[in-house]
């Protein structure tokens, strides 16, 4: 290109540039402005600036309305408009896109169903609960597959004495009220306040009185025993140490005795009833309690009934010996029981009574599948009983799905602590716990149980106590069966003053008159706390529970604890009293319990049990803690 051509081209480009409209970009408004509104920083070519100046001078000289750069608008009008736009922008609320999206979503939801935030929350919680309950349905696969549906409860020969049958509804209600019993269901059998009127054999009444110091049925027994004797399916919910074991053991023993009397069991026959427990220790304890009553019956001239303990860790020879004679009752943990049934060691062809003790815990521990399979081995209609100290809604749902016209018996709120326990909560720094523990042991005489949820900590505490001359045993999931049994025996017999235990040992075990329970660590789930402190304050006696909390304890757990103390009318330490419940204002000053775990300090959305279930199942299986083999 020649120099002349280059010059021409530059001029052409310059002209094209001069003719192009000028735009400015404003950060505030995110829009392109008309040149008339150009800011001082806007570039305006010389040619155009001269033209604008000329127009301006001419218009001033004529005094006619004109504007610079815009034929239609005056400068002051433009200024006003700019100011207005600026004001509008300033007035616009400063919201993030997320806020905007949420507001739009809420607006849409509100338009659809005119729902308030509280209604939306309630709906969400209901969905979580439904999903939770559906996942935990317990009906046996075989029953579901065959579509077996029984509509009537099992018939038994037991009836209440006529003077009790003739009681009016009001009289029964009054008795229930007096004993704090809530009973729900169709045709609920009457409350019976003494064993004699329940037609319990005299030798058993005598045995309970002399050997067990039991003279009068506890509330759960007053309503539970007549219900079970009448053949009704039931759900029993009562606080720890309230005598649930007798409420399901006595009916199975009476059923077995009646069957044996009618037609003696031959070799290989049986069982007629089964009790399934979540842990070996609990199964053994129930087994021993049944054996005691069975012995008393033999002493009283009744036939001998065979009881089989079906748990892992015991010799098959012992089991074979019982089975070789024909047996009536099986007390089992789910894993070993399923194994025996699968291997056809015995059948459930004539079994008509099934009790799931600590049913809720069994499901939590991952035994749901085993329990479902076990139910599939039943060949005829059975009576089903579920017992637990805590009873979340999922079990009520199960009742609707799998039990026949069940009677739901509640003594106290599900998940509430026993009122016979003095609960003390103390703030103890992590590093000061061990030393303070020694001081704390002075509060009462032995026996004392110390709980920690960490097995290494259990070992450390035992070691420390032994060094300090305290007679202590330890029990946790990594101990062998022999070690566990030795520890329980030594502690129960009074040889050892202190038992240090992980949660495994806490649930359902009945030790004699524990004076003091120390929770070295506050359990994350309030349900575990209730079970742990429930090792004391049993069968109407008072006990003390001390719980250490500190900065490591989650606020939600502390809130659960605070409500539980308030419910049981216990002293609330100032640091707990100071914790406020964020839900309180929205709930109008009254909060309801979590339908999954019964905790009062959180909603189902924040339930630690839901998030912990999976973890706990995996951990327990890998440790082989409970129930299995």
Ligand X SMILES: Nc1ncnc2c1ncn2[C@@H]1O[C@H](COP(=O)(O)OP(=O)(O)OP(=O)(O)O)[C@@H](O)[C@H]1O
* Residue of 243, 235, 189 whose CA lies nearest to 216: 243
| C-beta of 37 vs 509, nearer to ligand X | 509
Q: Could you say whether residue 534 binds ligand X (CB under 6 A)? A: yes
Q: Could you say whether residue 273 binds ligand X (CB under 6 A)? A: no
State the alpha helices, DSSP H only, in 441-600. 455-467, 481-492, 526-533, 555-567, 574-577
| Residues 6 or more apart in contact with residue 451 via CB below 8 angstroms | 500, 501, 502, 503, 506, 517, 518, 519, 520, 521, 523, 532
Q: With CB under 6 A as the contact rule, which of the stretches 61-69, 136-144, 273-281, 535-543 interacts with ligand X?
A: 535-543
The 3-class SS string of 157-191 reads CCCCCHHHHCCCHHHHHHHHHHCCEEEECCCCCCC
Among 78, 156, 221, 593, binds ligand X (CB under 6 A): 221
| C-beta of 233 vs 360, nearer to ligand X | 360
| C-beta of 132 vs 244, nearer to ligand X | 244
Residues 401-440, mask of contacts with ligand X (x by CB under 6 A):
----------------------------------------
Binding to ligand X (CB under 6 A) within 277-316 occurs at none
| C-beta of 153 vs 273, nearer to ligand X | 273
| C-beta of 270 vs 392, nearer to ligand X | 392
Q: Could you say whether residue 336 binds ligand X (CB under 6 A)? A: no
Q: Could you say whether residue 244 binds ligand X (CB under 6 A)? A: yes
* Smallest separation, CB 291 to ligand X (Å): 14
| C-beta of 221 vs 570, nearer to ligand X | 221
- Three-point CA angle 529, 534, 539, nearest 5°: 165
Indicate the length of the chain as a whole number: 629
Q: Could you say whether residue 338 binds ligand X (CB under 6 A)? A: no
Q: Could you say whether residue 383 binds ligand X (CB under 6 A)? A: no
Q: With CB under 6 A as the contact rule, which of the stretches 131-139, 172-180, 208-216, 601-609 interacts with ligand X?
A: 208-216
- Whole-number Å distance between alpha carbons of 51 and 72: 17
Q: Could you say whether residue 214 binds ligand X (CB under 6 A)? A: yes
Among 78, 140, 223, 245, binds ligand X (CB under 6 A): 245
Among 234, 389, 558, 594, binds ligand X (CB under 6 A): 389
| Residues 6 or more apart in contact with residue 107 via CB below 8 angstroms | none
Among 352, 393, 524, 538, binds ligand X (CB under 6 A): 538
Edge-first strand order for the sheet with 448-451 is 421-427, 543-549, 516-519, 448-451, 498-501, 472-475
Q: Could you say whether residue 246 binds ligand X (CB under 6 A)? A: yes
Among 69, 190, 217, 335, binds ligand X (CB under 6 A): 217
- The token pair at 473 is 């045993």
Q: 256 near 328, Cβ under 8 Å? A: yes
Among 140, 156, 218, 593, binds ligand X (CB under 6 A): 218
DSSP-derived 3-state class of residue 596: coil
Q: Could you say whether residue 481 binds ligand X (CB under 6 A)? A: no
Nearest-10 crossing angle of helices 280-299, 202-212: 130
Q: 306 near 328, Cβ under 8 Å? A: yes
Q: Could you say whether residue 539 binds ligand X (CB under 6 A)? A: yes
* Smallest separation, CB 178 to ligand X (Å): 16
Edge-first strand order for the sheet with 273-276 is 181-184, 407-411, 234-238, 383-388, 353-357, 273-276, 329-332, 307-310
- The token pair at 405 is 């016209």
- Whole-number Å distance between alpha carbons of 255 and 272: 8
Among 269, 510, 525, 626, binds ligand X (CB under 6 A): 510
Binding to ligand X (CB under 6 A) within 223-242 occurs at 238, 240-242
| C-beta of 117 vs 542, nearer to ligand X | 542
Q: Could you say whether residue 179 binds ligand X (CB under 6 A)? A: no
* Smallest separation, CB 386 to ligand X (Å): 13
Q: Could you say whether residue 506 binds ligand X (CB under 6 A)? A: no
Q: Could you say whether residue 212 binds ligand X (CB under 6 A)? A: yes
- Whole-number Å distance between alpha carbons of 510 and 240: 10
Farthest-apart Cα atoms in the chain, separation? 134
Q: With CB under 6 A as the contact rule, which of the stretches 164-172, 217-225, 256-264, 431-439 interacts with ligand X?
A: 217-225
Interface residues with ligand X (CB under 6 A) are 212, 214, 216-218, 221, 238, 240-246, 389, 508, 510, 534, 538-540
């Amino acid at each position: 290109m020649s120099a002349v051509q280059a010059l021409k081209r530059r001029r052409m480009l310059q002209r094209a540039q001069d003719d192009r409209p000028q735009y400015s970009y404003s950060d505030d408004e995110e829009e392109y402005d008309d040149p008339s509104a150009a800011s001082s920083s806007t570039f305006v070519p010389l040619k155009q600036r001269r033209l604008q100046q000329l127009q301006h001078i001419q218009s001033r000289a004529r005094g006619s309305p004109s504007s610079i750069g815009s034929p239609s608008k005056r400068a002051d009008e433009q200024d006003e408009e700019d100011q207005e736009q600026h004001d509008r922008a300033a007035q616009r609320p400063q919201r993030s896109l997320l806020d905007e999206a949420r507001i739009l979503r809420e607006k849409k939801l509100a338009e659809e169903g005119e729902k308030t935030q509280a209604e939306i929350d309630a709906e969400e919680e209901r969905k979580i609960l439904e999903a939770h309950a559906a996942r935990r349905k317990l009906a046996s696969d075989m029953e579901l597959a065959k579509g077996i549906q029984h509509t009537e409860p099992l018939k038994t020969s037991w009836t209440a004495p006529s003077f009790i049958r003739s009681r009016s509804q009001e009289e029964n209600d009054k008795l229930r009220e007096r004993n704090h019993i809530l009973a729900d269901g169709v045709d609920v059998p009457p409350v019976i306040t003494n064993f004699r009127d329940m037609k319990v054999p005299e030798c058993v009444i005598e045995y309970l009185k002399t050997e067990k110091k039991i003279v009068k049925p506890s509330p759960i027994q007053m309503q539970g025993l007549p219900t079970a004797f009448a053949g009704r399916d039931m759900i029993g919910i009562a606080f720890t140490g309230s005598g649930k074991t007798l409420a399901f053991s006595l009916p199975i023993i009476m059923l077995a005795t009646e069957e044996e009397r009618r037609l003696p069991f031959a070799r290989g026959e049986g069982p007629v009833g089964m009790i399934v427990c979540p842990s070996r220790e609990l199964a053994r304890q129930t087994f021993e309690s049944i054996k005691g009553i069975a012995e008393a019956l033999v002493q009283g001239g009744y036939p001998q009934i065979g009881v089989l303990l079906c748990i892992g860790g015991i010799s098959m020879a012992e089991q074979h010996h019982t089975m070789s004679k024909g047996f009536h009752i099986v007390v089992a943990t789910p894993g070993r029981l399923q194994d025996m049934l699968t291997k056809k060691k015995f059948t459930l062809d004539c079994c008509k009574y099934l009790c799931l003790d600590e049913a809720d815990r069994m499901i939590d521990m991952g035994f749901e599948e085993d329990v479902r399979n076990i139910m599939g081995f039943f060949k005829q209609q059975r009576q089903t009983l579920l017992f637990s100290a805590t009873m979340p809604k999922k079990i009520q749902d199960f009742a609707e799905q799998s039990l026949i016209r069940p009677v739901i018996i509640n003594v106290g709120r599900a998940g509430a602590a026993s009122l016979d326990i003095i609960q003390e909560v103390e703030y103890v720094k992590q590093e000061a716990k061990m030393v303070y523990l020694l001081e704390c042991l002075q509060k009462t005489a032995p026996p004392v149980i110390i709980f920690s949820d960490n097995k290494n900590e259990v070992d450390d505490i035992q070691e420390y106590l032994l060094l300090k001359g305290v007679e202590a045993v330890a029990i946790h999931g990594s101990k062998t069966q022999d070690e566990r049994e030795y520890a329980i025996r030594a502690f129960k017999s009074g040889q050892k003053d202190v038992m240090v235990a992980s949660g495994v040992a806490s649930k359902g075990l009945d030790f004699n008159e524990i004076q003091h329970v120390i929770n070295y660590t506050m359990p994350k789930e309030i349900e575990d706390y209730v079970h742990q402190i429930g090792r004391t304050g049993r069968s109407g006696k008072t006990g003390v529970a001390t719980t250490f909390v500190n900065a490591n304890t989650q606020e939600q757990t502390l809130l659960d604890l605070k409500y539980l103390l308030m419910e049981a009318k216990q002293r609330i330490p100032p640091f707990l009293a100071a914790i406020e419940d964020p839900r309180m204002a929205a709930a109008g000053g009254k909060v309801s319990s979590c339908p999954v775990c019964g905790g009062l300090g959180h909603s189902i959305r924040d339930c630690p049990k839901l998030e912990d279930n999976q973890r706990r199942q995996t951990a327990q299986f890998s440790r082989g803690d409970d129930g299995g083999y």
